C-alpha cells in the first residue's frame, strides 16, 4: 500500500516508517498538517497514520476536514491521548482505528493489515485463488499445498492485485504502491517483479494488457 505517516516525533516516526516499509508498503512521512494536506492533494494514499498533536494544529481537526471533503482514505490514529472520551472523539470524527502510544510495532502492522482487508471488501484473511491459498494476516501463500516464499516487495505487489481482483492496474499505480517520494525507480522494476511473481505463483495468474497494465485473474 501507499501510506502517509503524519508524526512529528523523530524517533517514533522513524521506527514506524521502518516497520511499515519492512512490511512491504511505501511510506511518505511528514511532520506537520500543512505537509499532510499537500500530500493528500497530490497522492492517492491507501492509508493514513495520524498523530493528533502536531506543531501546526490538531490531527482531529484535519481528520474532520478530510471526511467533510469526502475523502474516504482509511485513517488509523496514533496518539498518547488514552482517555475513553478521546477514543470516542477520534472514531466519531471518522477514524477507522485508534492506537495509544506507546504501542507495539507488530500490533500496528496487524492493525494496518486489518484495516486494509476491510477496505478491500474482504475482511476474511483466508483467500483462495485457483490453486493458491492466501493468509493475508500471516502474509503467507500456499501453491498446491506448498509454501511460496515472497519477499516484502513481491508480497506488496501481489497484495495490490489481490485487493482488486480483475481490475486493470497500470505500471504507475503499481509503482505508487511500492515506492515512497524520492525513491529511485528503474524503468523495468515492475516488469521484474511481475516476472518473479509469475515464476513463483504460476504464469496464468497475472495477465498483461499491452500498453495498459496488469490484472489478476483466476485460472
Q: What is the mean pLDDT of each run of 10 residues along the chain (219 residues)?
A: 94 94 90 96 92 94 93 93 90 93 94 83 73 84 91 88 86 80 72 92 89 84
pLDDT, position 204:
85
What is the three-class DSSP state of 47? strand
pLDDT, position 144:
86
CA distances from 41 to 35, 51, 71 (A): 10, 19, 10
pLDDT, position 6:
97
Three cell numbers, residue 219: 485460472
Three cell numbers, residue 25: 508498503
Distance (Å, whole) CA 216 – CA 78 = 34
pLDDT, position 47:
94
Distance (Å, whole) CA 199 – CA 97 = 37
pLDDT, position 181:
64
Three cell numbers, residue 72: 474516504
Among candidate residues 30, 62, 57, the one with its CA nearest the CA of residue 43:
30
What beta strand segments (E) does 136-209 contain? 140-143, 146-148, 206-209
* Beta-carbon count within 10 A of 100 CB: 14
pTM: predicted TM-score of the whole model, two decimal places: 0.68
DSSP letter, residue 169: B
* Beta-carbon count within 10 A of 91 CB: 13
Helices (H), strands (E): how many in the chain?
Answer: 8, 13
Amino acid at each position: 500500500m501507499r501510506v502517509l505517516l503524519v508524526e512529528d516525533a523523530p524517533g517514533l516516526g522513524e521506527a514506524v516508517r521502518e516497520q511499515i516499509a519492512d512490511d512491504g508498503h511505501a511510506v511518505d512521512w511528514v511532520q506537520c498538517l500543512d505537509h499532510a494536506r499537500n500530500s493528500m492533494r497530490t497522492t492517492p494514499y491507501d492509508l493514513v497514520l495520524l498523530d493528533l498533536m502536531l506543531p501546526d494544529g490538531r490531527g482531529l481537526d484535519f481528520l474532520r476536514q478530510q471526511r467533510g471533503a469526502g475523502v474516504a482514505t482509511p485513517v488509523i490514529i496514533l496518539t498518547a491521548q488514552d482517555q475513553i472520551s478521546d477514543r470516542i472523539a477520534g472514531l466519531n470524527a471518522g477514524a477507522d482505528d485508534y492506537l495509544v502510544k506507546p504501542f507495539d510495532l507488530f500490533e500496528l502492522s496487524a492493525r494496518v493489515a486489518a484495516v486494509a482487508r476491510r477496505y478491500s471488501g474482504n475482511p476474511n484473511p483466508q483467500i483462495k485463488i485457483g490453486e493458491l491459498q492466501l493468509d493475508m494476516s500471516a502474509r503467507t501463500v500456499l501453491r498446491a499445498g506448498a509454501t511460496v516464499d515472497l519477499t516484502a516487495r513481491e508480497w506488496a505487489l501481489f497484495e495490490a492485485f489481490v485487493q482488486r481482483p480483475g481490475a486493470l492496474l497500470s505500471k504507475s499505480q503499481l509503482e505508487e504502491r511500492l515506492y515512497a517520494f524520492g525513491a529511485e525507480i528503474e524503468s523495468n522494476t515492475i516488469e521484474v517483479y511481475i516476472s518473479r511473481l509469475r515464476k513463483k505463483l504460476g504464469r496464468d495468474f497475472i495477465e498483461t494488457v499491452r500498453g495498459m497494465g496488469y490484472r489478476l485473474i483466476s485460472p
